[in-house]
């Protein structure tokens, strides 16, 4: 979704802003713009469409050492030149970029119109620009503070003013902003990827905080003008993690990275000799957690699928009643929570609006809240009482892949951690941990046999409808496989618990319809073989994901993709990999833009 970059220092701002915007492209956007500021004033250039369109029209001839840039994913108003950010006041003295939504923009617009202000765009952000201009009395920071007191909604915003060259004022409420600290320069971004090429030293702006940023100084205050002291922190991510390198697409890069991303996720967390799990992020709440009467896991999309695997894991290993909920439903459902309930939010970005809202609801009702989050310093990481980071590195591909396996891994670790404090024997925990530690090597093995996945994609990528079936731990994987296929290849796909097929969806099966069945060894193997028979009888083409050594299944399925044997609760970490690869190859074969699928944004920061 929308992205923010800002620079103030001694270097040319324009190339730094353009490069920053390029690194934000993965988030999804439909227009982009830049404001450069100096003693002569503020010059704004913006354009609908790709960043290359902006580059063609921006005037690079004038040197500027400060400015702000934005990629917009339209919410209020069509994705055109006028609605693109930055937005200005009537006199063009101020330029504002903004992520989030100003909820009272209608009322503020009417108020400003009564004062004679004329608007040029349909956006809520222009309201902010016009309001700041009205309130300006020689101090940009003060005008922004006053304006934000009038505003309800969410924002990560930045503003420059012609009267104060070399100054950027930024503020945050519910939409992330970080300040990069360089040598005689500062950067501002909504996402670390935008500034990583320049610095790994950052200050995370908190909700309700503002920053006045110049080349030499960052002054942090609250919205009520109280000074805020913060340490500079180091971002763990490296530049090569956000660059494509020799890979064709970020999605493929992130799929093949999974052996190492999972090793990073597990590093230092399991002790094979003692059969113990160490999760530093849970130490302070272990007592409360162990006494939990109920766990609710919330998330959206892929994170929700990982959460569903988590539900099975918590119930089996820790024997704690667990439910998984769509964050968007939970937040409006008047859920019954008490102080024996623990709510776990699962999220790659840590910024998904619905999941944050669910978390806030849970906190307000007194539940202990935990985060299973990838992005360090993200809103969810800050707002939860405790949590465990995924440590799988930045995920740039819009389709979530390594975050899914990271989320499942962390939930497995948490289930074992809790299980040991309840009913799980040390022998069973040791066995579980040993199997978990072997997962990265198993994933490596699956990736070396990836040709079969490509062959499946080649054979069936022209089919309009696919079905994915799984049982038990592999039911969420069936949902995830179908989501991966539809979001990047635009093929209609449905994922189901296999037994549900007879209750309706079986009517869809026609001759040659691809049906992916996750039929790995385990407690429900015989049942899933029956489901395969049901599909075959109706002419469906079965693509089976099976356990190595299962020769019989090749008699029943058109294609078999083998994964190594592991414990049943850990199978999702293996069975998800071929499904990611099938979706990737199908999308490439169909000529789809794998890393920038239509209508999708990497992090959904609006409701």
Contact positions toward ligand F6R, by CB under 6 A?
300-303, 347-349, 352, 355, 399-400, 483, 487, 603-604
Could you tell me which of 486, 543, 500 has the C-alpha nearest to residue 519?
543
Determine which one of 2, 161, 300, 592 is catalytic.
2
Query: Which one, 164 or 487, has the nearer CB to ligand F6R?
Result: 487
Cα gap 540→511, rounded to integer Å: 5
Please give the backbone phi and psi of residue 345, each rounded to the nearest 5 degrees, phi first.
-100, 130
Q: With helix as H, strand as E and coil as C, how does 94-156 read?
A: EEEEEECCECCHHHHHHHHHHCCCCCCCCCHHHHHHHHHHHHCCCCHHHHHHHHHHHCCECEE
Only one residue has tokens 């590093």, namely 267
Q: In the complex, what is the shortest distance from the CB of residue 592 to ligand F6R, in angstroms, rounded to a whole number? A: 14
To ligand F6R, the closest distance from the beta carbon of 575 in angstroms equals: 16
Question: Locate tokens 């820790």: which residue?
Answer: 318
Strand order in the sheet with 465-470: 492-497, 465-470, 514-519, 541-547, 559-563
Alpha carbons within 13 angstroms on the beta-carbon side of residue 284 total: 9
CA nearest neighbour of 235 among 282, 281, 176: 176
Task: Output phi, psi for 527, to 5 deg.
Answer: -65, -40
Encoded tokens for 349: 């970005």
Please give the DSSP secondary-structure letter assigned to residue 10. Answer: S
Beta carbon nearer to ligand F6R, 353 or 542: 353
Q: What is the dihedral of CA 183, 185, 192, 265, to 10 degrees?
A: 10
Residue number, 199 or 400, with CB nearest to ligand F6R: 400
Q: For ligand F6R, give the closer residue by CB, 382 or 421.
A: 382
In whole angstroms, give the CA distance from residue 480 to residue 583. Answer: 10
Two structure tokens written together for 340 = 């024996």
Q: Give least dist CB 308 to ligand F6R, A.
A: 12
Describe the strand order of the beta sheet including 155-161 as a list of residue ranges: 87-88, 94-99, 155-161, 168-173, 209-213, 218-222
Closest to ligand F6R by CB, 289 vs 303, is: 303
Whether 602 is a known active-site residue: answer yes
Q: How far apart are CA 382 and CA 206, in angstroms?
A: 9
Least Å from the CB of residue 605 to ligand F6R = 9
CB of 250 to ligand F6R, least distance (A): 12
Whose Cβ is closer to ligand F6R: residue 255's or residue 399's? Answer: 399
Q: How far is the CB of 226 from ligand F6R (least distance, A)?
A: 32
Min separation Cβ 488 and ligand F6R, Å: 8
Q: Please, which residue, 393 or 419, has the CB nearer to ligand F6R? A: 393
Check: CB of residue 124 under 8 Å from CB of residue 152. no
Q: Indicate if the alpha-carbon torsion angle 123, 124, 128, 133 is positive or negative.
A: positive
2 catalytic residue (yes or no): yes
Q: Are strands 276-277 and 294-299 parallel, antiparallel or unpaired?
A: unpaired
Q: Which of 173, 402, 596, 602 is catalytic?
A: 602
Shorter beta-carbon distance to ligand F6R: residue 141 or 595: 595
- Whole-number minimum distance, CB 296 to ligand F6R, in Å? 16
With CB atoms as reference, the residue minimizing the distance to ligand F6R is 301
Residues 36, 59: Cα–Cα separation, whole Å:
10
Q: Which is nearer to ligand F6R, 128 or 344 (CB)?
A: 344
- The minimum distance between CB 395 and ligand F6R, in angstroms, equals 8
Residues 6+ apart with CB under 8 A from 463: 491, 512, 513, 514
The residues that are catalytic are 2, 602
């Amino acid at each position: 979704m929308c992205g923010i970059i800002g620079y103030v220092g001694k270097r040319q701002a324009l190339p730094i802003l353009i490069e920053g915007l390029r690194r934000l492209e993965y988030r999804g956007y439909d227009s982009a713009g830049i404001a450069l500021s100096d003693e002569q004033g503020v010059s704004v250039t913006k354009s609908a469409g790709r960043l290359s369109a902006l580059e063609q029209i921006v005037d690079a001839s004038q040197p500027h050492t400060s400015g702000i840039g934005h990629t917009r994913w339209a919410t209020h108003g069509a994705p055109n030149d006028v609605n693109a950010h930055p937005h200005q006041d009537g006199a063009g003295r101020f330029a504002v970029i903004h992520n989030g939504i100003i909820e009272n923009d209608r009322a503020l617009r009417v108020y400003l119109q009564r004062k004679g202000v004329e608007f040029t765009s349909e956006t809520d952000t222009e309201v902010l620009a016009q309001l700041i201009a009205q309130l300006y009395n020689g101090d940009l920071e003060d005008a922004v503070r006053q304006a934000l007191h009038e505003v309800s909604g969410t924002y990560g915003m930045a503003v420059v003013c012609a009267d104060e060259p070399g100054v950027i004022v930024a503020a945050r409420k519910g939409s992330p902003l970080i300040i990069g600290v360089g040598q005689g320069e500062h950067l501002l971004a909504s996402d670390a990827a935008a500034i990583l090429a320049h610095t790994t030293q950052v200050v995370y702006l908190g909700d309700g905080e503002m920053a006045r940023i110049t080349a030499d100084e960052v002054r942090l205050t609250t919205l009520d003008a109280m000074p805020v002291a913060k340490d500079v922190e180091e971002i763990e991510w490296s530049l090569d993690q956000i660059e494509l390198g020799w890979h064709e697409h970020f999605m493929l890069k992130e799929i093949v990275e999974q052996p190492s991303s999972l090793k990073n996720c597990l590093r230092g967390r399991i002790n094979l000799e003692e059969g113990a799990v160490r999760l530093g992020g849970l130490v302070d709440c272990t007592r409360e957690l162990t006494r939990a009467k109920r766990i609710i896991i919330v998330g959206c999309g892929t994170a929700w699928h990982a959460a569903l695997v988590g539900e099975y894991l918590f119930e089996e290993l820790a024997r704690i009643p667990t439910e998984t909920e769509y964050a968007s439903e939970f937040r409006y459902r008047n859920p019954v929570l008490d102080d024996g309930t623990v709510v776990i939010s699962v999220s790659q970005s840590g910024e998904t609006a619905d999941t944050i809202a669910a978390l806030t609801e849970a906190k307000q009702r007194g539940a202990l809240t935990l985060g299973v989050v990838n992005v360090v310093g993200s809103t969810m990481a800050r707002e939860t009482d405790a949590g465990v980071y995924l440590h799988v590195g930045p995920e740039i591909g819009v389709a979530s892949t390594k975050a899914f396996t990271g989320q499942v891994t962390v939930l497995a670790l948490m289930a074992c951690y809790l299980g040991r404090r309840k009913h799980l024997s040390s022998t069973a925990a040791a066995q579980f941990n040993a199997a978990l530690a072997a997962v990265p090597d198993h994933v490596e093995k699956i990736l070396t046999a990836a040709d079969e996945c490509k062959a499946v994609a080649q054979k069936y990528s022209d089919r309009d409808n696919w079905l994915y079936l799984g049982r038990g731990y592999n039911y969420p994987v069936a949902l995830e496989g179908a989501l991966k296929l539809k979001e990047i290849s635009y093929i209609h796909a449905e994922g189901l618990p296999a037994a549900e097929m007879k209750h309706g969806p079986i009517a869809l099966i026609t001759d040659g319809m691809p049906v992916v069945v996750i039929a790995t060894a385990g407690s429900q193997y015989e049942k899933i073989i029956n489901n395969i028979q049901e599909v075959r009888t109706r002419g469906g083409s079965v693509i089976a994901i099976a356990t190595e050594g299962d020769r019989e299944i090749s008699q029943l399925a058109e294609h078999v993709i083998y994964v190594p044997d592991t414990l049943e609760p850990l199978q999702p970490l293996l069975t998800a990999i071929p499904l990611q690869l099938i979706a990737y190859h199908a999308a490439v074969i169909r000529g789809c833009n794998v890393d920038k699928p239509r209508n999708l944004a990497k992090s959904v920061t609006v409701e």
